[in-house]
């Protein structure tokens, strides 16, 4: 992964070992690596490629690093404020949380900052409030902070231990819960966090708290939509200005989110290239039709990239790149991203509409949820990949332990209402795990931007009361203010436009189904055409060989039970295939490193 890698307690590791591990991260020909600084008990390195935003400043013994981008600003623009934070940090006993929060509130970006006192071997890390760039922290044999999971797994290969609870939750949801990864002692760092590395120890504090129950009283849908439109346009303008020499590529689907970005580009007179893909099964054929229609009406031509079937080499490449944290169903995206790079060159700003569909609409929850226990049950039944009993048979983890962990997380959320706790879980667990890890997959090839995650846009949208968002009223008005001419084009997933009265019927039917989560889950599994069955004999054989391939696999799951469960299926659901194969390949890959 392009980005920073930090090791404390370096007396246990030679420069040769650290350099070797950096070189293992040079995934493509245009990658390069460098050691940024080495002080007493502290080592800082980075890997990158031309076009990846990474800046450094050195002032005496102070090294200032910005990994990622604060849009509209260079590191030199921020030098005075960041050196001021460094000075305050060096004064023992100073509270940094308010100072860092004041800095973060002023700027919009996808970034992390690291301030290194090379003379003393200490460091100060903080990331943006949303944690837009994935960062991992290991506290085994010292302290390692890295943008790439593989760096940690290679560096600590002799001390890796599986986390059974992390594996069980991965099989259930396709992501580990909380800060867990698949390994004990290695966790994902949340957003809005300060880490202080001092005298070989680490101290952590949160400078930002997300409370989705805090609402502002805005009654007018039009005013809210107008405010959001203005914030959205400003956010995109800052992003475009930050990369003036890049080709602007828009991943355009048949949905509303990428369409909103296309409309914003039109308003701002941005020259861009829309690209879309057609999957091997043809499920997204309607998306391709709508994407082409949107482009045509905007005077553009869409580049279509056709994806073949899942390939073993792409599956293994994704495991190498993401260390199991972007599950292998997404491996076909490797071909998509590689093709974009081949066709448009190295200097690319890649825009996606990620998460507009959860930030702007009202997200429904069953009205039968009356307690934390009800909410835990609802979340499990709605989002599980493997059932609780299956997870228990494969991993030995009691499903009650997973339910208890979810319940504890929900109880600790700052929101008072069950609905807002549900929303917090959906956004900060499910969507942020999938979405942010997916964006970092993109960043192995070029810089990926998601304007809906502009801090000001996200904060404003999530502060609006739910009644403004119901029946897509807010989203409809938002799109109309961007460009009323395209609002009547259908959304591919629905088959009708957001202006249709069918939206109301759809939301009502969804509400009815959500009162019966087990029925909804059954329909999802048996009716939803996107639940593709894996029938490729080569891939099924590959999975079976992985079950027998490594002692590492046999130490983390019950192979006999896994085979028994999988053999009962006539064509394995792609979700289940992806979840279990991701776990298996991660341990095979990183347990057999030499």
Neighbours of 263 (CB within 10 A): 25
**Residues 474-496 as b or e (16 or more Cβ within 10 Å = b):** bbbbbbbbbbeebbebbbbebee
Kindly tell me if the per-residue pLDDT of 570 is higher than 70.
Answer: no
pLDDT grade for 406, boundaries at 50, 70 and 90: very high
Q: What is the pLDDT of residues 305-351, one digit of tens each?
A: 999 888 999 999 999 999 999 989 899 999 999 999 999 998 999 99
pLDDT score at 594 = 42
> 337 vs 281, which has greater pLDDT?
337
Please, are residues 330 and 318 in contact by the beta-carbon 8 Å criterion? yes
Asked if residues 228 and 478 have their Cβ atoms less than 8 Å apart, the reply is yes
Question: CA-to-CA distance for 201 and 335, rounded, in angstroms?
Answer: 42
The pLDDT of 28-43, averaged and rounded, is: 91
Q: Can you tell me the mean pLDDT for 49-64?
A: 96
Three-state secondary structure call for residue 143: strand
- pLDDT value of residue 155: 93
Residue 427 has what DSSP assignment? I
For 46-55, 141-150, 542-551, which range has the lowest pLDDT when averaged over its residues?
542-551
| Closest by Cα among 18, 404, 512 to 177 | 404
Instruction: Say what percent of the chain tops pLDDT 90.
Output: 76
Could you read off the pLDDT of 232-280 as tens digits, one per residue?
A: 999 999 999 999 989 999 999 999 999 999 999 999 999 999 999 998 8
What is the architecture, at CATH level 2, of domain 221-361+428-526?
A: 3-Layer(aba) Sandwich (3.40)
Q: Determine the Cα–Cα distance for residues 534 and 579; give it in Å rounded to an integer.
A: 13
DSSP for residue 255: S
**Highest-confidence range of 73-87, 154-168, 420-434, by mean pLDDT?**
73-87
Question: What is the predicted pLDDT for the residue at 79?
Answer: 97
Helix (H, G, I), strand (E, B) or coil at 259: helix
Percent helix, strand, coil in the chain (nearest 5)?
50, 20, 35
Task: Compute the distance between CA of residue 366 and CA of residue 26 in angstroms, rounded to an integer.
Answer: 47
CA distance 558 to 554: 7
How far is it, in rounded angstroms, from Cα 486 to Cα 110?
Answer: 30
- 3 state SS for 206-252: ECCCCCCCCCECCCCHHHHHHHHHHHHHHHHHHHHHHCCCCEEEEEC
Count Cβ neighbours within 10 Å for each residue of 278-295 and write b for 16 or more, e otherwise: ebeeeebebbbebbbebb
- How far is CA 1 from each of CA 7, 295, 320, rounded to the nearest angstrom? 16, 32, 10
CA–CA separation, 323 vs 262, rounded Å? 33
Under a CB-based contact definition with an 8 Å cutoff, are residues 567 and 580 in contact?
A: no
User: Using CA atoms, how far apart are residues 82 and 536, in angstroms rounded to an integer?
Assistant: 54
Pairwise CA distance, residues 175 & 165, whole Å:
11
CA-CA distance, 332 to 337, in Å (whole number)? 9
Q: What is the pLDDT of residue 255?
A: 96
Which tokens go with 172? 């259930």
User: What DSSP line would sit under 33-45, residue for residue?
Assistant: EEEEEEETTEEEE
pLDDT at 468: 95
CA–CA dist 165, 183 (Å, integer): 9
Enumerate residues 6+ apart whose C-beta is below 8 A from 347. Answer: 50, 51, 243, 245, 246, 247, 446
Q: Are 447 and 52 in contact (CB under 8 A)?
A: yes
Tell me what the pLDDT averaged over the chain comes to. Answer: 92
Q: Helices in 350-417 by DSSP H: which ranges?
A: 356-359, 372-383, 388-395, 399-412
Rounded (5°) CA angle 573-377-168: 55
Mean pLDDT confidence for 290-310: 94
Give the number of other Cβ atoms within 10 Å of residue 519's Cβ: 13
pLDDT at 522 over 70: no
Does the domain at 3-206 match CATH 3.60.20.10? Answer given as: yes
From the list 275, 281, 528, the residue with the least C-alpha distance to 382 is 528
DSSP codes joined into one string, 262-314 = HHHHHHTT---EEEEEE-TT-TTHHHHHHHHHHHHHTT--PEEEE--S--HHH
Q: What pLDDT, in 10s, does the model give residues 88-136?
A: 998 876 789 999 999 999 999 999 999 999 999 999 999 999 999 999 9
pLDDT at 415 (0 to 100): 98
The DSSP bridge pattern shows strands 54-59 and 143-146 to be unpaired
CA 32 – CA 151 distance, rounded (Å): 15
Question: Is the pLDDT score of 529 beyond 50?
Answer: no
User: According to the model, what pLDDT value does residue 550 have?
Assistant: 64
What distance in Å separates the CA atoms of residue 140 and residue 163, rounded to the nearest whole number? 14
For residue 3, what are the β-bridge partners? 47
Cα gap 301→279, rounded to integer Å: 19
Are 466 and 229 a contacting pair, CB within 8 Å? no
pLDDT of residue 576: 86
Q: Which residues contact 150 (CB under 8 A, 6 or more apart)?
A: 1, 24, 25, 320, 321, 323, 590
Summarised one tens digit per residue, pLDDT across range 174-199 is: 999 999 999 999 999 999 999 999 98
pLDDT at 493 over 50: yes
Separation in Å, CA 384 to CA 168, 381, 388, 438, 579: 11, 6, 8, 20, 11
450 close to 346: Cβ distance less than 8 angstroms: no
Q: To the nearest 10°, report the CA torsion of 362, 363, 369, 374.
A: -150
Closest by alpha carbon to 309, among 283, 340, 275, 274? 283
Contact yes or no for 582/385 (Cβ under 8 A): no
pLDDT at 452: 98
């Amino acid at each position: 992964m392009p980005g920073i890698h930090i090791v404390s307690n370096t007396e246990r590791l030679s420069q040769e070992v650290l350099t070797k591990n950096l070189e293992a991260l040079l995934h493509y020909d245009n990658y390069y690596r460098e050691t940024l600084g080495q002080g007493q008990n502290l080592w800082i390195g980075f890997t990158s490629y031309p076009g990846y935003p990474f800046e450094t400043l050195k002032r005496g013994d102070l090294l200032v690093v910005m990994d990622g981008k604060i849009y509209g600003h260079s590191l030199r623009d921020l030098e005075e404020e960041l050196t001021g934070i460094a000075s305050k940090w060096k004064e023992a006993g100073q509270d940094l949380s308010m100072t860092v929060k004041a800095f973060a509130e002023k700027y919009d970006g996808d970034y992390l900052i690291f301030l290194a006192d090379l003379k003393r071997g200490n460091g100060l890390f903080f990331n943006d409030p949303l944690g837009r760039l994935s960062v991992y922290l290991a506290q085994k044999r010292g302290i390692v902070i890295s943008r790439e999971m593989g760096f940690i797994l290679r560096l600590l290969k002799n001390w890796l231990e599986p986390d059974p609870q992390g594996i069980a939750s991965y099989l259930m949801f396709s992501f580990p819960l909380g800060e867990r990864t698949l390994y004990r002692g290695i966790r994902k760092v949340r957003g809005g966090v300060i880490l202080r590395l001092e005298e070989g120890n680490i101290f952590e504090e949160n400078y930002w708290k997300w409370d989705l129950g805090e609402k502002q009283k805005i009654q007018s849908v039009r005013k809210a939509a107008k405010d959001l439109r203005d914030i959205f346009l400003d956010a995109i303008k800052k992003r475009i200005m930050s990369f003036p020499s890049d080709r602007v590529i828009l991943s355009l689907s048949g949905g509303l989110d990428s369409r909103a970005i296309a409309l914003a580009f039109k308003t701002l007179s941005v020259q861009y290239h829309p690209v879309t893909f057609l999957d091997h099964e043809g499920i997204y054929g309607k998306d391709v039709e709508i994407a082409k229609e949107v482009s045509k009406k905007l005077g553009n031509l869409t580049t279509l990239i056709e994806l073949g079937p899942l390939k073993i080499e792409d599956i293994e490449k994704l495991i190498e790149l993401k260390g199991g944290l972007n599950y292998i169903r997404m491996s076909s995206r490797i071909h998509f991203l590689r093709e974009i790079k081949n066709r448009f060159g190295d200097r690319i700003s890649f825009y996606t509409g990620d998460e507009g569909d959860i930030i702007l609409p009202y997200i429904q929850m069953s009205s039968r949820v009356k307690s934390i226990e009800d909410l835990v049950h609802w979340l499990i039944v709605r989002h599980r990949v493997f059932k609780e009993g299956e997870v228990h048979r494969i991993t030995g983890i009691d499903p009650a332990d997973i339910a208890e962990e979810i319940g504890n997380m929900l109880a600790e959320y700052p929101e008072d209402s069950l609905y807002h706790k549900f929303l917090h879980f959906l956004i900060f667990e499910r969507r942020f795990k999938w979405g942010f890890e997916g964006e970092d997959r993109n960043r192995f090839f070029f810089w990926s931007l998601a304007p809906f995650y502009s801090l000001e846009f996200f904060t404003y949208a999530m502060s609006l009361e739910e009644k403004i968002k119901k029946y897509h009223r807010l989203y409809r008005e938002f799109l109309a203010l961007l460009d009323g001419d395209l609002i009547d084009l259908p959304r591919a997933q629905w088959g009708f436009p957001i202006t249709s009265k069918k939206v109301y019927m759809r939301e009502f039917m969804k509400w009815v189904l959500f009162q019966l989560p087990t029925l909804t889950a059954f329909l999802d599994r048996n009716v939803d055409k996107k639940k593709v069955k894996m029938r490729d004999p080569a891939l099924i054989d590959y999975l079976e060989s992985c079950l027998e391939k490594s002692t590492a696999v046999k130490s983390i799951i019950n192979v006999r039970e896994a085979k028994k469960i999988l053999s009962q299926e006539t064509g394995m659901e792609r979700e289940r295939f992806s979840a279990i194969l991701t776990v298996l390949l991660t341990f095979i890959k990183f347990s057999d490193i030499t």
